[in-house]
Amino acid sequence: MHEKILVVLLLGLPLAGAGLTGLVDRRFGARAWWFDAHVVDGVVNGVGTFTIFSGREVRRIQTGRVQNYALGIAIGLLVMAAGFLVVTTR
């Protein structure tokens, strides 16, 4: 049943019932399962892993000291000013 729904979504075929039985075979289902298991789940798992990793790294720079945050803002402003000068002087 899931294979029929997948064919309807991918190919835009009307869900007429009996007509799709010959179109959907085990090979297509196996390929769809592989794509879902490796590509879709891989992307989702990769985003989750990246989020966890980046959260752990950002935790290191969050010290709670205002001086550190002010220094980060000052460096960011200098980078933006330098970028602005590079772009406008061309």
Domain chopping of the chain, boundaries: 2-88
Q: CA 89 → CA 48, 81, 82, 84, distances in Å?
A: 42, 12, 11, 8
Quick check: helix, strand or coil at residue 58?
Answer: helix
Mean pLDDT of the chain, nearest integer: 81
**Is residue 20 a contact partner of residue 7, using CB atoms and an 8 Å limit?**
yes
Question: Looking at the whole model, is its pTM more than 0.85?
Answer: no
**Where residue 45 falls among pLDDT bands split at 50, 70, 90?**
very high
